[in-house]
Amino acid sequence: MAFRVLDSSAFYAGIPFSSNEPSYITPLVYNEIDHIKKDHDAIQILIETKRLTINEPEDQFVNAANNAAKKSGDFSNLSDEDMSTIALSLQLKAELVTDDFAVSNVAKNLNIKVIPVMTTGIKHVITWKYYCPGCKVNFSNVTECPRCGNKLKKKAIKK
């Protein structure tokens, strides 16, 4: 059976809630989705019923993902969550469900099978909001905070 790794865009699109296939996410993605308070019980049930497993990728796979992202020029567009997701897909030889262009690009360069969120039959459209975890200010079109230099984090907004 093929493993499936989800990034946060796949998670926000509701894939783990609408599929019986077991999914994997990294601890960083779990922390990112943790703010969806209304779905919090649903997430706990997924974990308890083993439909969702949280797994930390090993360093060697994180390094391989970092190297591939630097090579393809996508590194500055990718968050730590994104990098961990690519690394876990590589480690588990899993299919990666994402709608993030940079994530897909790096994953394909590593011969990871990428499944676009769209093709899973999910209709929600996600847009991303970028914010500085230090200054708590939102930005667009930049990956680093112009005020303090922190790497920006992103949050999905359902339309």
What CA–CA distance (Å, rounded) separates 85 from 138?
Answer: 24
Question: How near is the Cβ of 139 to Zn ion at its closest, in Å?
Answer: 9
Angle, alpha carbons 74-80-58 (nearest 5°):
105
Question: Which is nearer to Zn ion, 54 or 135 (by Cβ)?
Answer: 135
Question: Which is nearer to Zn ion, 53 or 143 (by Cβ)?
Answer: 143
What CA–CA distance (Å, rounded) separates 152 from 131?
Answer: 5
Binding region for Zn ion (CB under 5 A): 132, 134-135, 145, 147-148, 150
Question: How near is the Cβ of 76 to Zn ion at its closest, in Å?
Answer: 16
Question: How near is the Cβ of 128 to Zn ion at its closest, in Å?
Answer: 17
Question: How near is the Cβ of 62 to Zn ion at its closest, in Å?
Answer: 25
Question: How near is the Cβ of 109 to Zn ion at its closest, in Å?
Answer: 31
Question: Which is nearer to Zn ion, 37 or 149 (by Cβ)?
Answer: 149
Question: Which is nearer to Zn ion, 17 or 131 (by Cβ)?
Answer: 131
What CA–CA distance (Å, rounded) separates 156 from 131?
Answer: 11
Task: Give counts: helices (H), strands (E), the chain.
Answer: 7, 8
- Contact (CB, 8 A) for 29 and 97: no
Question: Which is nearer to Zn ion, 11 or 130 (by Cβ)?
Answer: 130
What CA–CA distance (Å, rounded) separates 92 from 114?
Answer: 14
